Each structure stands twice: as structure tokens, then as C-alpha cells.
Amino acid sequence: MRTGFQISSLVPSGLAVEGVSDSNDTIILVGRSQAGIAVCPLCGARSRRVHSRYERQVADLPCAGKQVRLRLITRRFVCEVPHCRRRIFAERFGDGVVPVRSRRTARLEQIIHHLGLALGGRPAASFAKRLMLPVSNDTLLRVVRRRTCLRRELLVVAGIDDWAFRKNHRYGTIVCDLERRRIVALLPDREIATVRAWLSKHPEIRVVSRDRGGGYGEAAAKALSGVVQVADRWHLMENASAAFLEAVRRSMRMIRTAIGATTINPALLTCAERLQYEGYLRRTYTNATIMALVGDGVPLKEIVRRTGHSRQLVRQVSRGVSADVFRTRQSTLDAHLPFLDAQWTGGCRNGAELWRRLQGRGFQGSLRVVSEWTTRRRRAEKASDQQLQKVPSARTLSRLMTTARDHLSKADTVTIAAIEGRVPTLVEARNLVERFQTMLRQKLITDLDPWITAASASLIASFANLDFADGLSSAEVGNHVSELERRIKKRFPDVKRIFIEAQRSSALPVAAIPYTNDANRC
């Protein structure tokens, strides 16, 4: 039975087919608009005067297993309105047919939009290729962002934190709706003026969750009068750990006495350790000079003039900050130390074998790094509480004192036991930090006042004297901020690109974009 199929039915409505050409994998349709007049996009006046023509190629839905491309004959019209600045303009085919400056028809764009919403970036690109719709994952995500509706709910509880466009180089500010767990905006920097200007445009905000720094707090106070500012849980945990680290640094003299390392024989040091020890002696002399002037009541500015040291150094020394004798650098093995300890305890003592097992877990370091660790571990196994040993750095001691005893080596256990027996104030500070972290995790608000009373007389008194009235109530809110920041930085690179492009285009309707983990869908 014959049917009334026509070639014009393959193109969107409003277009007329002028010609058809076919190749191995593509059908090319030459078309034009059926309208005889066009409307000036600037003044809205109609025009029939044609200036010239050009060809415009756009992609359309596939047909019979082949890609379809439309070669549209586009006319340029002359605007006959005297005061209109646009003398010549190209005809528009309509947003429902071919949007302005688009390289795809509206119906193809809609299919791509639904694929992006359903599958995300890379999975949708792979599936679209099988449907004869070759688009990249970046194109899918751009279409999703462009067609996303603006958020309509009021932003009442906002979370503000900084995030890295490029770590240690450029940072921006992330603003989240913590009630709906959505990202609202990305600001290009973390300056007070930028955050203040953005907050001033959202007077409906009633609660701001931020870090313990003063920058965001000052911006919120100036932009929103009467707003409740709360500290999120992640930063409270970080500040508590930093307070304990500072307590360890203040107790280094007693720690050296406790582990029997009050004197150092330079003849037993390596060349690198000797250089560090000489620098330590110079720092000790500088600290003693500054503290003597502080004890005489000399102002900090005058101390800076007399000694020639920076104001920051003078301020730190006057507050009791001291340096370690031997400062250690971070190693690429730090993230794999629990696995190495478990393998060592299990009987694997060969450096090459440990290195091969680490490579299976994604370790990128060399064999030499693991071999040096095994050598140091063998020497540490022979340590005893009677031997004279080098004092670890304050950061290392802080980590060892907050690690469970079952996860420590024999030498570390001996060192920590000696410190706990001779420096009880440091043990008290550690217990207070652990109580504080437990209080945050379990939201024990009733235990806050007794904890502040106990901590005010300890080595972490400066941390305990901070205002915690709102901190515990925002523990869950702050957790959302850290979780969203972690997702953007590590697990959602495609979503991160969406937000960067949105910021560049000054359009941030990103609240309705669903979180899609492409890695889990592949």
C-alpha cells in the first residue's frame, strides 16, 4: 500500500526542503524558511527587503541509522527603521525550530537535555553515540545547565566556605542552601567585599554557617543585620586539633626531659640534622632575646625596630610559639602508613614486596621511599625506654598521642608512655579534645558548659574561651558544607565544570541541577 510520505516531513515545521543529498553515514537536507518577512531583533520592526543570503548548518534527529544535517539558507534583511542601530540582521527561525546561534534543532536539543538529566555526562555521551547523536559529555552538561530553571525557594540557611579552583593558587567562595542541600552560587574569590555584595542581594537569609575565620563573619555582619552566624562542625574539629598541636609545641621542653633527650651530641647527627640543629640554636637565641624584651615591657613595634625581625615573628614568639629541633616533612607514604603497619605486623618485612603491594593500591612513589621506611622501622623495633633518641616533631607527637595504642609501633608506644607519665597536663589536654569531638558528634549540648569550665584551666584555654553558643547547634549544618565541598573537589569534576562555566557567563541558576556521579554509572 502506498503512503503519502514526503521529504518535508523530515524537517521541523516552518521549513521548506529545497534539496536532498545522501552519503555513507549522513543525510543532508537543504532547507529554507517559509516566512516572507522577518522581524528586527533590536527594534521589532518587520522587513521584507532581503540584503543577502548565507548557509547555516545545524544537526537534527537521525533517520534510518544515519545522521541528519540541515543546510539552512538563511536570509539577511535590511531594517528600514531610520533610528535603529542594527541596519542588517539575519532572520530567526524561532526557538521552537532552531534557536538563535544554535548548531542543533530544538527537538534534538530537547533529547540531549533529557539524556543529560537521566544519565549525567560520560554515560549519556556513550549512549548518545549509539543513538547516532554524537555529543560530548561537556556538551551534555552545558545543555543541562542552560535549560535549568531558576531556583524559586527562599534561601534561609546559607553555608559559606572557600574552595579551590586550583589548590594553593586560586580560591573562590561556595554558597550552599543547607536546608535543601543544594549549591546556590560560586563567587570568583573569597574577598570580604565580594561576599558582602552577594549577601546584600539576599536579605531573606536568617542563618549563615561559616568557618571560624573573621572574613566571612565580617561580610555577613555588614550585609545582613541581625543574621545568626554559626560555626560548622568540620572547622570546630579542625580548630580543636590545631589547639592540641599548639599545646604540644608549648610543652616541647618538658617532652624532651620526659624521653631523655635534653641534650644533643652534634657528633651523632647527620649532615642534614646538624643543619637543622644549628638553625634551632639560632632560633632559640632569637626567641630568648625577644622574650627578654617582652618581659621588660617593651612594645612589639619597638622590639621589631631593635631586633630587625618581622612583626609576625615577634608576635608569635611573644605568644609562646616555639619551634622543634628536628622538623620533618610530609611523605608520600603518610596516606599508606596504616596499610604498611598492618603488613609489617602480619610478617611482611621485605621492602620490595611491600612496595609491590602498595603499587596495587595506587601508590606512585619509588622503591627507595619504601626501603627507607623499612630500615627506619627495623631500627625502631630495637628501641627501648633506656635509649637516648631524637625527639619527634610536635606534629608527629600530636598525631601519635591521638592514635590508638594498638596502631603504634613499639618505639612510638615507649615514647608516648614516657610523655604521658611525665607531662600530665598534655594528657589532660588530649582528653579534653577527645571529649569535645565526642560532644560534637553526638550533639551533647548539655555537656558544653562543664567542658568549657574544665578546658579553661588547661593548655587549650585559648580555644575553650571562644564562643561556642551556636557551634554545636550547627553541627549537622556545617557537615553539609564540608560534604558538598568534598563532593565538588573530588567526586564530581563534571559538576564542577558546570559551576565554573556558570560563573564565567554570570548566570548561576544551578540549584536545580541534580548530583550525578558519573563514575558510579559507568
- Exposed e or buried b per residue across 78-106, where buried means at least 16 C-beta atoms within 10 angstroms of its C-beta: ebeeeeeeeeebbbbbeeebbbeebebbb
Q: 380 and 276 in one domain? A: yes
Residue spans of alpha helices (H) in 367-423: 367-381, 394-401, 410-422
- Domain contains 121: no
Please enumerate in sequence order all residues whose Cβ is within 8 A of that of 53, keeping only pairs 6 or more positions apart, or say none.
73, 74, 75, 76
Query: What angle is formed at CA 242 by the lines to CA 236 and CA 246, rounded to 5 degrees?
Result: 145
Residue 339 confidence (pLDDT): 86
The answer to whether residue 423 scores a pLDDT higher than 60 is yes
Question: Closest Cα to residue 394, out of 269, 280, 270, 267?
Answer: 280
Last residue of a domain, one of 71, 103, 135: 103
Same-domain check for residues 283 and 384:
yes
Burial 212-222 (b: 16+ CB within 10 A, else e): beebbbebbbe
Query: Would 85 be classed as within a structural domain?
Result: yes
Which grid coordinates belong to 123?
Answer: 554515560
The reply to whether 167 falls in a domain is no
| In a shared domain, residues 88 and 52 | yes
Q: Are residues 46 and 79 in the same domain?
A: yes
Cβ burial 427-457 (10 Å sphere, 16+ → b, else e): ebbbebbebbbebbeeeeeeebeebeeebee
Say whether both 287 and 240 belong to one domain.
no
The C-alpha cell at 246 is 599548639
What does the pLDDT read at residue 51? Answer: 92
> Are residue 448 and residue 355 in the same domain, yes or no?
no
Residue 373 lies in a domain: yes
Q: Is residue 285 part of a domain?
A: yes
Mind listing the pLDDT tens digit for each residue in 166-224? 877 888 898 988 888 888 888 888 888 999 999 999 989 999 988 766 788 889 888 98
Q: How far apart are CA 104 and CA 97, in angstroms?
A: 9
Longest dimension (CA), the chain: 110
396 within some domain? no
**Do the Cβ atoms of 121 and 38 come closer than 8 Å?**
no
* 181 phi and psi angles, rounded to 5 deg: 55, 50
Residues 239 and 271 in one domain: no
Find the domain containing 51 and state its range. 13-103
Domain closes at, from 389, 419, 451: 389
Number of neighbouring beta carbons within 10 Å of residue 181: 12
Task: Based on the fold, state whether residues 239 and 345 are members of the same structural domain.
Answer: no
Q: How many domains does the chain have?
A: 3
Q: Quick one: three-class SS letters along 16-64?
A: EEEEEEECCCEEEEEEEECCCCEECCCCCCEECCEEEEEEEEEEEEEEC
Asked whether residue 179 is assigned to any structural domain, the reply reads no
Amino acid present at 417: A
Cα separation, 127 vs 518, whole angstroms = 13
Alpha helices, DSSP H only, in 267-329? Answer: 271-295, 300-307, 311-318
The upper half-sphere exposure of residue 62, i.e. CA atoms within 13 Å in the direction of its Cβ, equals 16
One DSSP character per residue, 410-429 reads: HHHHHHHHHHHHH-HHHHHH
Grid coordinates representing 13? 515545521
- Examine the domain organization and report whether 358 and 305 are in the same domain: yes
pLDDT score at 52:
93
Distance CA 464, CA 453 (A): 8
Answer whether 259's CB lies under 8 Å from 418's CB. Answer: yes
319 & 380 share domain: yes
198 vs 511 pLDDT, higher one? 198
Cell 548565507, residue located: 54
Q: What is the pLDDT of residues 24-65, one digit of tens each?
A: 888 888 989 888 899 999 888 999 999 999 999 998 888 888
Among the candidates 47, 76, 103, a domain finishes at: 103
Answer whether residue 189 is part of any domain.
Answer: no
Task: Give CA–CA dist 344/377, Å, rounded.
Answer: 9
pLDDT beyond 80 at 362:
yes
Which are the contacts of 436, defined by CB distance < 8 A and separation ≥ 6?
Answer: 236, 240, 451, 455
One-letter identity of residue 293: L
Q: Are residues 278 and 240 in the same domain?
A: no
Residues 275 and 373 in one domain: yes
What are 92's three cell numbers? 530567526
Q: Per-residue pLDDT averaged across 494-502, rounded?
A: 43
How far apart, in whole angstroms, are the C-alpha atoms of residue 468 and residue 519?
A: 39
| 437-453 pLDDT tens trace | 888 888 888 888 888 88
Per-residue model confidence (pLDDT) at position 418: 81
